[in-house]
Amino acid sequence: MNNITTKLFLFFIAIIMLSCTQEKLYEKPNVLFIISDDMRTELNCYGADYIHSPNIDNLAKNGVLFTNAYVQQAVCSASRASFLSGVRPNTTGTDYPYSKYFMNEFWPAHPMLAEYFEQNGYYTHTFGKIHHGPHDNLKTEHYFPKTGLNTGSYYALPENIEKGGKKGRGKETPPYECADVPDEAYRDGLIAKEAVKIISQQKENDKPFFLAVGFVKPHLPFNAPKKYWDLYEESEIPLSPNQYHPENSPSYSTNHYALANYAGLNYYDSPDHVLPDNYQRKLIHAYAACISFIDAQVGKLIESLKETGKYDNTIIVFISDHGWHLGDQQMWGKTTNFENSTLAPLIVSAPGYEKGERSTRLVEYVDLYATLCDLADIEIPEYTEGTSFKPLMENPDREWKTASFSQFPRGRKMEGYSIRTADYRYTEWRVRGEKVDSIELYDHRKDAIESVNIAYKKENESIVAELSQRLNAGWKDALPKGVLNNSNNPVAPPHVAYVDEKNRPKPRKEETLSFTTGDLNDKWEQAEGYQLSVKNGLLHIDIEHPANYWQKVSIKGLNVRAHKNSQLIMNYKTMDNTPLSFKYIAVSNGNWSQWLTRELPVTNGELKELSIDLSEAMEQYEKEYETMEYITQFVFCINPQEEYKGSLVLKSLTIW
């Protein structure tokens, strides 16, 4: 009897142990989702051998590195709205910033990535810059420090903090900073520290976790502790091999605002619009230091995972939100359809999958939502527009998508739609989504740096026709063989910027811009062909441009209540007898009305006051979007349809 009892006891113990083993075997994986900001594939593991990125390189050795991962729109808000929701920009309706439609209609009905994991039983926590502005609706509180430790929101050196004023940065602050300070003097150091704390708390937690950690570097300003600058010899830093605007490419395929928002040289005040070599090396040195700074923070996160014993069962993803031009195509910034903007890093390390592999197959950032669900054995929502690349984690060389798709707008009337195949990049610039204004074609077999647009060469007519057909057929036509996507999402309405009305500053009844100091304030953004300077309390606008030249001066940061009697009042003078055609647009939360025209009477050097009725601008705006409630920006250009050289002088501008 005792033997039977003992055998039964041992049998039940074995059953329990087997059950526990099986449960352990099918334990849900954790997820550590790491997002950098504005980081192109300028990493050692991607071939930039001058870069010090040992921790990200080690991550690549323990996972799969994707060499051809493309974002769907190369600006923070649009890209993040896409990959965090699993749908494309035409579905989110977001350009820059998040749109009213995305915030009020799409998001409430479609959980973002972290929210979806929480709904599926995960402990979720987010840190730093995940979304562009708002935060996920989670049980835990999002962590994002407003400043560094005992420093400012962007800078650590007292002189730069002072120059930054209330906004923390601006045209008086430099585009980079080298400060002999600890990591925590900048926000990214604090973000890593808080994330490490939360990771360490998971040691005794049996619940799977999803942690999203977003770093703000290497976004401008390129600020990093001195020890990361010291990793580089500035004189040895390579420069872009393609520093000029692509031959035969339309002027609007690039833009040049990024460096113009800071002190120092930029596109507008450099000979041939190319920065001097020594200044380029300084900027790239700063960018590289920021990459190494972020790499160190990534190392802290991974080391913490190992210390908790959770590393072996954690999916680790490292991405950016898009790429960046480091002087390439005459640009310093993002916001293009070129390779430098749309190509971005993607490294995935997952338990049980390939390690130290590289996949050259085309993947898209919109695929991340479906892929993480698939790797975690969570049902993929049917509305998502990405494709899980889990099969590439198993076999990195298998056949996959035949193309990736990106897009970028120029204003609200024109958008460039781009298709990237294994051999080509083809872009169509469409006015109002229909009429094609211009096209671009780059052969990556012969011109990987995209220096010459060959779309208009007769011998390329057939490839242009083929790629145009594939672009218009769309992303579903480029899916891997045997893969279907049944999403049927409506196209979002035209972008109208979301504004948190609860926290919005009260709009003014009127706003007057005068020029009492020697410098322009941060509201003014000049354009090529317009030289702005303040002399004796007057703004001198010296103009020189060719015919059909639509570059514009922009006045940003306005907050004036719009009404049916809104006016622009100009105190101005002309310096010669040439009539001036003043073209203008009233802008509300990033949305533009149509160009309108007012002829400025000649004043022969005498100051005159002129009122311009803005009601027509508001009527046009309402036809395309909604009732204009605020005027947040005003743009203008002078005599754009003809070759012109002359001046306009302003004493003040008032909008009411």
363 Cα distance to chain centroid: 18
DSSP 3-state of 553? strand
333-363: burial string, b at 16+ Cβ within 10 Å, e else: bbbbbbbbbbbbbbbbbbeebbeebebebbb
76 noted as active-site residue: yes
- List, in sequence order, every beta strand (DSSP E) within 294-413: 314-319, 325-326, 332-333, 346-349, 357-364, 404-410
Cα torsion 390, 395, 399, 405: sign: positive
- How many C-beta atoms surround the C-beta of residue 79 within 10 A? 27
| Both tokens assigned to 438 | 């211009």
Tally Cβ neighbours within 10 Å of residue 456. Answer: 13
Catalytic residue flag (residue 132): yes
Q: Decide the pairing of beta strands 123-128 and 64-70.
A: unpaired
User: 125, 132, 142, 325: which is the annotated catalytic residue?
Assistant: 132
> Residue written as tokens 């490292």?
318
Question: Which residue is catalytic, options 76, 178, 290, 637?
Answer: 76
53 vs 43: CA distance, rounded Å: 6
Q: How far is CA 628 from CA 309, 560, 617, in A?
A: 55, 11, 9
Task: Give the amino acid at 377.
Answer: D
Contacts of 464 (CB under 8 A, 6+ apart): 426, 439, 441, 455
DSSP, residue by residue, 414-469? EEEEEEE-SSEEEEEEEETTTEEEEEEEEETTT-TT--B--TT-GGGHHHHHHHHH
Strands (DSSP E) found in 284-394: 314-319, 325-326, 332-333, 346-349, 357-364
Q: CA 464, 434, 70, 234 torsion: positive or negative?
A: positive
Cα 291 to Cα 279: distance, rounded to the nearest angstrom: 19
Active centre residues (catalytic): 76, 132
